[in-house]
Amino acid sequence: MNILVVGCGKVGQTIVQQLSKEKHDISVIDVDAGVVSDMTNAYDVMGVVGNGESYEVLRAADIESADLMIAVTDSDEKNLLSCLLAKQVAGCNTIARVRNPIYGGEIRLIKEALGLSMTVNPEYAAAREIGRLLKVPSAIKVETFCRGRIELLKANVMEGSILDGCALVDVDAKIGIDVLICVVERGDEVVIPKGDFVLQKGDRISAVMATEKVPAFFTSIGESSRPVRNVMLIGGGKIAYYLADSLHKSGMTIKIIEKDPARCTELAEKLPGCIVIEGDAADQEVLLEEGIAEMDAVVTLTGIDEENIFLSLYAKSISKGKIITKITRLSFDNIVDGLDLGSVVYPKKITAESIVRFVRAMQNSYGSNVETLYNLIENKVEALEFVVREMADYVDVPLAELERKDNVLVAAIWRNGENIQPNGRTRIQVGDSVIVVTTQKGIDNLNELFHKKA
């Protein structure tokens, strides 16, 4: 697929990095010649220096042959204009980054008026992910499928847990809940396990279950399911605004610590139901005076990764609450994984995943569309949701009779309002939502994963 990316900032670079792994033909546009040079040296892409809202620049990047244009500059208005031009010139699909909260209530109208295929807002998406984590505080990570009806949770097997020493085949009987453990991380090893796999303390598991069973699952394995009521947000940027607004509406008490006086005034005006404190979170006395030790959750959202890391480590040392850390630079992955930062949220990864999901759905023509896509473990394991839209050779065939690629697990099937935990006798039907966990990369339809045995 021919893809044009306008804007090579942090989000643009992340998108190009991910899409280049998917073997697409990519061109990039940016006003900074040095940035364009860096991109063409790092990835197999064509680069053009200039403004993406210029028709001549778009032509130089061969917009006429583009299947998709993604505009992710730091200006919402420039992104929208670039997409409008691309739509008029090439008739291609267009995606625009639109971040300003002022457009929040009008985004549907803007999409329709400009013919946008999709809009992305990294800060709003990050706020939504953090909100999901706060609703399931015992989980390290929460991913949703089937419009929120099925969840995939990541959690640690703690010392003394009922899961310690338990074989997977015995998990349901032991905890009294239908759950499928689909991935286990043990040190540097990542396993898509079989039924005889025995869990150990220190393992990090990813488990699929119906959403309504999540509280009972954590209670059964000895983890607290106490709801979060009081939340401290450290940093008052766009993510903090979106998150505070959402959490306050759900009944939580929100306290925001922000050192910029002007931003404090703005937040206090826009979020009258939240407590906004002007103060430097780097000063431990400020955090202690504002009750960080008594909070049910602390979310570090400053614009500096190092500060977020240190603040989260400090919060972890004095609080039993849920800790969530926002990280911007993806190059910190290896370091962050070795630190006890609670749950870690990467806004750029969330944005890149949503765009990759859209791209895979665009290029699929085999009767099953990618609805949801998550990188469970970066560059190692993906979880995908497909909707089966028409007959295929794997439909109405017992799973045991299908030939599958290595390391492919059908984790759940949603059919007519029911979550089906698959076994060898289960048959996929047209209309099903099928959740698959796999180490295979670049999958955009179920035909690539399995087919009827000859």
Query: Which amino acid does the sequence have at 4?
Result: L
Indicate whether 152 and 206 sit together in one domain.
yes
Please tell me the predicted confidence (pLDDT) of residue 225.
Answer: 66
Closest CA to 168 of 178, 155, 158: 178
Q: How confident is the model at residue 366 (pLDDT cuts 50, 70, 90)?
A: low
Q: For residue 166, give the CATH number of its domain.
A: 3.30.70.1450
Indicate whether 19 and 115 sit together in one domain.
yes
Residue 130 domain-assigned? no
Radius of gyration of the chain (CA): 23
Choose one of 220, 238, 255: the last residue of a domain: 220
Please tell me the predicted confidence (pLDDT) of residue 248.
Answer: 96
Indicate whether 63 and 33 sit together in one domain.
yes
Residue 131 domain-assigned? no
Residue 209 domain-assigned? yes
Q: pLDDT for 40-79, tens place per residue? A: 999 999 999 999 999 999 999 999 999 999 999 999 999 9
Indicate whether 332 and 412 sit together in one domain.
no
Residue 358 domain-assigned? no
When pLDDT is averaged across residues 377-381 and rounded to a whole number, the result is 80
Choose one of 279, 312, 345: the last residue of a domain: 345
Q: Are 267 and 278 in contact (CB under 8 A)?
A: no
Please tell me the predicted confidence (pLDDT) of residue 449.
Answer: 86
Domain containing residue 79? 2-120
Q: Which residue has the higher pLDDT, 334 or 410?
A: 410
Q: pLDDT for 202-251, tens place per residue? A: 999 999 999 999 988 998 888 866 789 999 999 999 999 999 999 999 99
When pLDDT is averaged across residues 11-34 and rounded to a whole number, the result is 91
Indicate whether 326 and 429 sit together in one domain.
no
Choose one of 173, 197, 220: the last residue of a domain: 220
Q: Are 421 and 370 in contact (CB under 8 A)?
A: no
Please tell me the predicted confidence (pLDDT) of residue 452.
Answer: 67
Query: What percent of the chain is modeled with pLDDT above 70?
Result: 96
Indicate whether 415 and 311 sit together in one domain.
no
Indicate whether 104 and 15 sit together in one domain.
yes
**The pLDDT of residue 365 is above 70:** no
Q: Count of domains in the chain?
A: 4
141-145/150-156 β-pairing? antiparallel
CB neighbour burial string for 380-389, b if at least 16 within 10 angstroms, e if fewer: ebbbbbbbbe
Indicate whether 26 and 110 sit together in one domain.
yes
Indicate whether 77 and 17 sit together in one domain.
yes
Residue 129 domain-assigned? no
Residue 156 domain-assigned? yes
When pLDDT is averaged across residues 103-119 and rounded to a whole number, the result is 88
Give the C-alpha separation, 100 to 98, whole Å: 6
Give the C-alpha separation, 110 to 77, whole Å: 11
Instruction: List strands edge to edge, sheet with 45-49.
Output: 45-49, 25-30, 2-6, 68-71, 93-97, 118-120
Q: For residue 294, give the CATH number of its domain.
A: 3.40.50.720
Q: How confident is the model at residue 334 (pLDDT cuts 50, 70, 90)?
A: low
Please tell me the predicted confidence (pLDDT) of residue 22.
Answer: 82
Output the average pLDDT for the chain.
90
Please tell me the predicted confidence (pLDDT) of residue 106.
Answer: 85
Residue 235 domain-assigned? yes
Q: Quick one: the chain helix, strand, coil %, rounded to 5?
A: 40, 30, 35
Indicate whether 242 and 203 sit together in one domain.
no
Indicate whether 304 and 261 sit together in one domain.
yes
In the three-class reduction of DSSP (H, G, I as helix; E, B as strand; rest coil), residue 143 is classed as strand
Q: CA quadruple 86, 91, 95, 96: dihedral positive or negative? A: positive
Counts of helices then strands in the chain (DSSP H, E): 14, 24
Residue 243 domain-assigned? yes
Indicate whether 150 and 203 sit together in one domain.
yes
Please tell me the predicted confidence (pLDDT) of residue 396.
Answer: 93
Q: pLDDT for 130-186, tens place per residue? A: 999 999 999 999 999 988 899 999 999 988 889 999 999 999 888 988 899 999 999
